[in-house]
Structure 1
Amino acid sequence: MKGSTAYKSIQKRGLHIGLLPEMAAAVNGGTPITLDHDLDVLPEVGRRLTVAEYAGHVDDLAGRLWAAGVRPDEHVVLYKTANADHWMLAAAVSRIGAIVVNLSPALDPATVGVLLQRVGKPTLLTDGVKFDVLAELPLSDLTQRVITSAGDRPGTVSLAELAGSPRVKPVVRPIDAAAVITHTSGTTGIPKLVVHTARTQGIRLVPQWRLLSLMRKKETVAIHVPFVHSRMVAAMSLALLKEYPVLLMRETAPADVAEQFIKHRPAFIEALPNSFMEWEGLADDPRAPFGSVKVFSSTFDAIHPGTMSTLLKASYRRGALFFQIYGQSEVGPAVGRAYFRNSAHKANGRCVGWAMPNGAARIRVVSRDGKTPSETNPGRIEVAWDGLAKTYFGEQDRYDSNRQGEWWGTGDVGYRTKFGCLHMLDREIDMIPGVRSSLEVEDVVLSKLAELSELVLVQGPNSEAIPVICTVDDKPLDRDRWRAAVTAFPQLADPVQIPQAELPRTATLKVQRVALARRFEQKAGDHA
């Protein structure tokens, strides 16, 4: 089987992640998968395996889950320590016809409890560390059974003890039935559970298949995104079907990342915007950890032009580009744009791109006040295509309220230029009176002050625009340099500096702006 044949099969029958490893092995079983950490569920496997071996392990784990009592159509909540085995276990759950519910290990116990209750007595697949974290929850009431992938605990079913269980025949769910459930970032409260089907997952591969075609050789693809995210499904699927060697990464420390890039020399890196920001300093490393990179790719959140420029200049590859995708869990990839070495630093960071070709999403901007959306009067951004998520699990009314016919409201505001470029200015909930775009202010100021590692604009208790800043190594801010950098933004209040570690973040490292704003409301209340 060729990768293109497998891809066409997915477009017809949908993307079933339980079948994907076996399908990729049929394309090229010898393609290597390298990890920067050990698999918790299979520690003896090591950090280098082939796609064929990977597929065999998924089949093995599927047999163990069946022996543990998991059956088709059941929900299996996967909440465990961050590890590449999460995706392997999710594929195993899917392979026996069950529905995997991916929960981030960053979620707190109370939130996990709410989501377990929402799903309705699912199987919980966890590990000893996370089981202990949930010690205060009544798991016997919230779950049907608890299975541990590592670190066994009393009263649980151990996958390790089920080694050698008979293999079982794959169970393929209907193309429009729930296949994988992920959750939203939870920037405004309890995350929503987003339901993906085999059809919607397959459709989302369409616009991205072409992007990977920019790589003519079978060079290494480095993937550094949360293992629980819907983005991981697309990233792994595309890389494996294209027969690219995969470097699957968990570690985030720049020193660790540099060692991996130097050793494996990836040509394509997919990572979070905040991860790329954290790695910017590696551009000065004389070993050139980014020297081999042809394509940098990112989604999830806006990324600052200065970061893209720094990374591109650190690549030695001719025609290196940074491809930014704008989308969200409910939508998938909506629009995209390529940035290049000699122009990225001059780019307008609010221009997130154009609709992608080959049957991708359609975009429109709808007026909020009856007037035509424009730069000074942004409208609501909406998306329509067959790749939209099917529903919010247990919250159909909430889903329906956000969808008008075929159009989905992203919650973002912006406008389109006469050339069709979509400019995203802010989340509607984050808009601040007197500020055209918080994200634009952040782009401009960050480009002027290299000592800033993060800048987030939030609304204060009196509707003022408060800049919350973090500096490299948490060094004190030079107030004179700050004042010089923000002369174009007189509406800003005095900056508030906090340690980088205190920024509230989501599982995809987005700053929780609402939570940050509430801190100032609470302080104002305490002083009232």
Structure 2
Amino acid sequence: MKGSTAYTSIQKRGLHIGLLPEMAAAVNPTTPIHLDHDLEVFPEAGRRLTVAQYAEHVDDLAARLWAAGVRPDERVVIYKTANADHWMLAAAISRIGGVVVNLSPALDARTVGILIERVGRPTLLTDGTKLDLLADVPLADLTRRVLTSAGDRPGATSLAELAGAPRVKPVVRPIDEAAVITHTSGTTGIPKLVVHTPRTQGIRLVPQWRLLSLMRKKETVAIHVPFVHSRMVAAMSLALLKEYPVLLMRETDPAEVAETFLEHRPALIEALPNSLMEWEHLAEDPRAPFGSVKVFSSTFDAIHPGTMSKLLKASDRRGALFFQIYGQSEVGPAVGRAYFRRSAHKANGRCVGWAMPFGAARVRVVSRDGGRPTEHNPGRIEVAWPGLAKSYFGEQERYDSNRKGEWWGTGDVGYFTRLGCLHLLDREVDMVPGVRSSLEIEDVVLSKLDELTELVVVQGPNSEPVPVVCTVGDRPLDLGRWRAAVADFPQLADPVQLPQAELPRTATLKVQRLELARRFEKQLQERA
């Protein structure tokens, strides 16, 4: 089976991640998969695998899960320490017809308990560390059984004890039934559980398949996104089907990242915007850890032009580009655009792209007040295509309230330019009175002040726009330089400096703006 044949099969029958490793091994069993950390569930496996070995491990885990009592249609919540074995375990659950429910290891015990209850007595697959964290959650009442991938605990069944279990035949889920459930970032409260089907997952691969065609050679693809995220399904699937060597990364420390890139020399890096911001100073490393990169790719959130420019200039590859995708867990990739070395620094960071060809999503901007959506009167961004998530698990009414026929409301506001570029100005819930776009202010100021590692404009207790800043090494902000940089934004209140570690973030490292605003409101109440 060739990679293109496997891809065509997925478009017809849907994407079943439980079958994907076996399909990829049939295409090329020697395709390498490298890790920057050890697998907890297979600590003896090492950090260098072939796709054939990977498929064998998935089949082994599927047998152990079956021996533990997991059966088709059963929902299995995975909540464990961040590790590349998460995707391997998810594939094993899928392989025996189970429904994977991915929960981020960044979620706290209370939130996990609420989500487990919403799922309705699932099997919980966790590890000793996370099980200790859940000590006050009534798991005996909320779950059908508890399994551990690493670390034995009383009352839980260890997968290690089930080694050597008889292998079982794959079970293929119906194309339009739930297959993988992920969750939203939770920037506004308890995350929503997003239901993906084999059909919707397969459809989302279509526009991205063409993007990867830009890479003519079978060079290494480095993936640094949360292992629990729906984006991981697409990134891993595309790389394996294209027979690209894969580098699965967990570590975030810039020094370790530099060593990893120097060892593996990736041609494509997919990472979170905030991770790329944290790594951008590596562009000054004389060893050129980004020298081999042909394509930088990012989704989840808009990225600042200055970061893109620094990364592209650090590449030694001719025609290097940064491809940004705008989308959500509910919609997949909606629009995208490429940035190039000579022009990235001049790009308007609010222009998130154009509709992608080859059967991708349709996007429209709907008026909020009856007037035509424009730069000064932005409208609501909506998306329509067959790749939309099927529902919110346990919250169908909430899902239905956000969908109008085929159109899904993203919660973002923006407008289209005359050239058809979608400009994203803000999340509607994050809009601040008197500010056209908080994100635009952040782009401009970050481009002027290299000492800033983060800038977030949120609504203060008196509806004023409050800039929250973090600096390199948490050094005190130079107020003179700050005032010069924000001269065009007189509506801003005085800056509030926080240590980087104190910023409330989601699982995908987005800053929780509403939580910051609530903190300021609480501080005002305490002073009163």
Q: TM-score per shorter chain, which class?
A: over 0.9
Q: Which position in structure 1 is the counterpart of 2:327?
A: 327
Kindly state the Cα deviation for residue 527 of structure 1 after the two structures are TM-superposed.
1.2
The amino acid of 1:392's aligned partner reads Y
Kindly state the Cα deviation for residue 238 of structure 1 after the two structures are TM-superposed.
0.3
The equivalences for 1:47-86 within 5 A come to: 47-86=47-86
Q: Deviations over 1:56-79 (max 9, x none)?
A: 000000000000000000000000
What is the distance in 1 between the residues matched to 2:94 and 2:144? 18
Q: Which position in structure 1 is the counterpart of 2:451?
A: 451
The equivalences for 1:432-511 within 5 A come to: 432-511=432-511
Q: Which position in structure 1 is the counterpart of 2:167?
A: 167
Q: Which position in structure 2 is the counterpart of 1:204?
A: 204
The amino acid of 1:49's aligned partner reads L
SS in 2 for 1:15: coil
Kindly state the Cα deviation for residue 116 of structure 1 after the two structures are TM-superposed.
0.5
Q: Deviations over 1:186-228 (max 9, x none)?
A: 0000000000000000000000000000000000000000000
The amino acid of 2:407's aligned partner reads W
Would you say 1:281 and 2:265 are equivalent positions?
Answer: no
What is the distance in 2 between the residues matched to 1:41 and 1:235? 22
**Unaligned stretches of 5+ residues in structure 2:** none
What is the distance in 2 between the residues matched to 1:247 and 1:178? 29
SS in 1 for 2:493: coil
Q: Deviations over 1:326-370 (max 9, x none)?
A: 000000000000000000000000000000000000000000000
What is the distance in 1 between the residues matched to 2:152 and 2:80? 13
The equivalences for 1:290-305 within 5 A come to: 290-305=290-305
Q: Which position in structure 1 is the counterpart of 2:89?
A: 89
SS in 2 for 1:399: helix
The amino acid of 1:413's aligned partner reads V
What is the distance in 1 between the residues matched to 2:286 and 2:421? 37
The amino acid of 2:492's aligned partner reads L
Q: Which position in structure 2 is the counterpart of 1:230?
A: 230
Kindly state the Cα deviation for residue 101 of structure 1 after the two structures are TM-superposed.
0.2
Q: CA RMSD in A?
A: 0.3
Identity %: 84
Q: Where do 4+ consecutive residues of structure 1 move more than 3 Å?
A: none
Q: Which position in structure 2 is the counterpart of 1:150?
A: 150
What is the distance in 1 between the residues matched to 2:245 and 2:138? 43
The amino acid of 1:310's aligned partner reads K
SS in 2 for 1:146: strand
The amino acid of 1:354's aligned partner reads W
What is the distance in 2 between the residues matched to 1:433 and 1:119? 38
Would you say 1:428 and 2:437 are equivalent positions?
Answer: no
Q: Which position in structure 2 is the counterpart of 1:11?
A: 11
Q: Which position in structure 2 is the counterpart of 1:306?
A: 306
TM-score where L is the length of structure 1: 1.00
Q: Which position in structure 1 is the counterpart of 2:382?
A: 382
What is the distance in 1 between the residues matched to 2:474 and 2:419? 42
Kindly state the Cα deviation for residue 297 of structure 1 after the two structures are TM-superposed.
0.0
Q: Which position in structure 2 is the counterpart of 1:179?
A: 179
The equivalences for 1:188-267 within 5 A come to: 188-267=188-267
Q: Which position in structure 2 is the counterpart of 1:402?
A: 402
The amino acid of 1:131's aligned partner reads L
Q: Which position in structure 2 is the counterpart of 1:353?
A: 353
The amino acid of 1:223's aligned partner reads I
What is the distance in 2 between the residues matched to 1:2 and 1:331? 29
The amino acid of 2:368's aligned partner reads R
SS in 1 for 2:70: coil
The amino acid of 1:63's aligned partner reads A
How many residues end up aligned between the 2 structures? 528
Q: Which position in structure 2 is the counterpart of 1:141?
A: 141
The amino acid of 2:229's aligned partner reads H
What is the distance in 1 between the residues matched to 2:189 and 2:432? 20
SS in 2 for 1:279: helix
Kindly state the Cα deviation for residue 123 of structure 1 after the two structures are TM-superposed.
0.2
The amino acid of 2:7's aligned partner reads Y
The amino acid of 1:243's aligned partner reads E
The amino acid of 1:360's aligned partner reads A
What is the distance in 2 between the residues matched to 1:480 and 1:275? 29
What is the distance in 2 between the residues matched to 1:71 and 1:157? 16
SS in 1 for 2:286: coil
